[in-house]
Amino acid sequence: MTDKKKFIIGSRGSKLSLAYSNHVKNLLIKSNLRFDENSIEIKIIKTSGDIFQNKKISYIGGKGVFCKQIEDELVNSKIDLAVHSLKDLPTIMTAGLCVNAVVKRNDPRDAFLSYSRKSFNELEPKSKIGTSSFRRHAQLNLLRNDLEIVAMRGNIDTRIKKLKDKEFDAIVLSLAGIQMLSLENEVKEIFTTEQMLPAIGQGVIALQCKKNDKETLDILEKINDKETYYSIQAERALLEAIGGDCDTAIGGLAKLSNEKISLRSELFSNDGKKKFEFQSSGHFKKAKEIGYKVGNELLKKAGSDFKTQES
């Protein structure tokens, strides 16, 4: 921990990020007698992803653009804890840092929002649908190939405003973020995980601290949700196995039941036109091994249709 008396949480400044951080703050207060409203401070840190909102994420540094500045503050002991949306974290952890705890997962599914139609299937051909994700783009194309799918960036409020301003006929967002901001009334339809398998780690709040900060690690252990933690071990290992990044069209969802982890996955070809699927299961303590196995099987199935940027 830092030498300051207050426990400092580093967070992005968006409404959603602050909602996540305040949720974590409340969990910490409930779980530890040393904390109250005044002993925990939330420090807003601007990231590259926040500064360059109109540029494609891969052009400004890839998956780490929402994390790097926050991680720098953590490495330099200016904050005690970094709160991230797990799917924003790069696959390979920054040296000296760790995520040994996560909050109980929110609903990982994707949501359909529209002001012209009540459901996805009611959209007129050539309707313009906005999404920030190549994964969603590929999945939506598989469901219907008669729509115009357009890349969009910005926080949830910005995207909903663009929809209300009729820049799009519909948009697709993470349901977890919508629920965290109490915007459920904006949702017209929730996609099933059979229709759209979520992004790796979708709906999970990651709690990142220094590897050698035993005091903070002990504090976070009290709010760690074990079921979510083992599930994301499998999902993140899958992403690592395929060498995935922010432009990889991959979905993966692990579930834990009766000490058994089940991991479903789908990977799209680089052009987004072919889909490869694999699933596996085993004891939850082998979560990482299951993730690596699924990732390697996907790579075998995809062959030359999928190559990472490093390949």
Q: Which of 3, 72, 80, 88 is the catalytic position?
A: 88
Residue 119, CA atoms < 13 Å, CB-side half-sphere? 7
Three-state DSSP state, 148: strand
The verdict on whether 80 is a catalytic residue reads: no
Three-state DSSP state, 288: helix
| 24 vs 35: CA distance, rounded Å | 12
Pairing of strands 128-131, 170-174: parallel
| 96 vs 215: CA distance, rounded Å | 15
User: For 22, phi and psi rounded to 5 degrees?
Assistant: -70, -35
**CA separation, residue 183 to residues 19, 175, 176, 255, 281 (Å):** 13, 9, 10, 26, 35
Backbone Cα Rg of the chain? 19
- Residues labelled as active-site residues: 88
